[in-house]
Amino acid sequence: MNFVEELRWRGMLHDIMPGTEDLLSKGMVSGYIGFDPTADSLHVGSLAQIMTMIHFQRAGHKPFALVGGATGMVGDPSGKSAERNLLSEDVLQRNLGGIKSQLEKFLDFNCGANSAGVVNNYDWFKDFTFLNFIRDVGKHITVNYMMAKDSVKNRISGDAGMSFTEFTYQLVQGYDFYYLWKHNNCALQMGGSDQWGNIVTGTELIRRKDGGEAYALTTQLIKKADGSKFGKTEGGNIWLDPEKTSPYKFYQFWLNTSDEDAKTYIRIFTLFDRQTIEGLEAEHETAPHLRVLQKALAKDITIRVHGEAEYEKAIKSSEFLFGNVDITFLSELSDAEVLALFEGVPNFTIKLSELQQGINAVDLLAAHTSVFPSKGEAKKMIQGGGVAINKARINSTDDSYDVTSLINNKFMVVQKGKKNYFLIIAV
């Protein structure tokens, strides 16, 4: 497998330093990608770089994931990012552990010479004094070099220049490349196209400090066809941690992609070969309403991130809401999973004590909760056969419900028509 060609046909490659392809053709190369430890989980915005590392390893090369424990303690040097706050050492260690455990789902850390590795730049910066940093690193990269490198970006953004913190931060990132080049034989740094300048600073430091050669490769930044930011929803990031984003919600994120985005994402985020993808594309073109691309995309990614069992549960969850899966399915879910399944659905709380003696359907839906604005409307729709509780149609306005009606001793699911759901939660 040719790593660079793999990225090209998948539409992932953005820029590559001259000589990189020659280097990769000569044998196993060690390379790395950096990840910010801003949380104890990665999110789908990190998946493109994870996929780059997967292809790199599959091509016979050795990938390193650099988690920025030291740079994480600095936070965002520009002060503009709300997601890159200054972190304590305890929080950083927890975050680093979470990230490593997630990377182990994608990369092989025990396959011989090209086993993946995780490194933390805190390990080599914790005892690096400021004076030593200026002496050993700062003197090799000038402010003029940094400003010239970033001049286009500065003109676009209107910035007059970079702060001392930003200048130092870029030097730190450049030194990471130098350190890994010297101690881990890393000759290649990879990253998103917005990281080109930082990567080049590292190659320049390697050249100026030790007369060495190192290389750079960047991938396309992922964008949605409508111009909105990839990986974000109204509820925030789509995380790889099932505690932060349920597997059902994760599956739905990919399933709900547009046709145009699905054609892009299935090349970037799956390991399907070219023939398989082109076959899926052709099948999708003949019957777009079947959403063949979206289903294949969502299945592949959900299984690789959460496993086969969680994928099957996500399918059942979808069928429960939009099909005919029995109400007993909810008993297979935890309380958190039930709440995640009904996220965005109107919900009401009711005291367990109020259910002890039983409540008739009309009072339950129009007095103890506000599923209906009035008892009259509740009666009318019940008599018309349009209301169900726990997937069973209410046959009479006198039907009564008590604690034995609760799913998992906590929930009742109300339907008005086929698609309007409400969740009653007993407390």
User: How many CA atoms, within 13 angstroms, populate the side-chain half-sphere of residue 20?
Assistant: 22
User: How many CA atoms, within 13 angstroms, populate the side-chain half-sphere of residue 293?
Assistant: 26
pLDDT mean values, one per 10 residues, the chain (427 residues) = 96 97 97 91 94 98 89 57 63 86 94 94 81 72 58 44 66 86 97 90 90 96 85 80 91 94 97 97 96 97 95 89 84 89 89 92 95 94 94 93 94 89 94
Mean pLDDT of the chain: 88
Spatial CB neighbours of 288, under 8 Å, sequence gap ≥ 6? 259
Whether residue 44 contacts residue 97, with contact meaning beta carbons closer than 8 Å, is answered with no
pTM of the model: 0.83
Residues of the chain with CATH 3.10.290.10: 347-426
User: What CATH number matches the domain at 347-426, 3.10.290.10, 3.90.1150.10, 3.30.70.20, 3.40.47.10?
Assistant: 3.10.290.10
Residues of the chain with CATH 1.10.240.10: 232-325
Give the CATH H-level superfamily of domain 232-325: Tyrosyl-Transfer RNA Synthetase (1.10.240.10)
Whether residue 337 contacts residue 246, with contact meaning beta carbons closer than 8 Å, is answered with yes
**pLDDT score at 151:** 46
DSSP 415: E
Model pLDDT for residues 251-294, shown as the tens digit of each residue? 999 999 999 999 999 999 999 999 999 999 999 999 999 999 99
Q: Which residues of 141-172 are buried (b: 16+ CB within 10 A; e: fewer)?
A: beeeebeebbeeeeeeeeeeebeeebbbbbbb
Give the CATH H-level superfamily of domain 3-219: HUPs (3.40.50.620)
**pLDDT score at 23:** 97
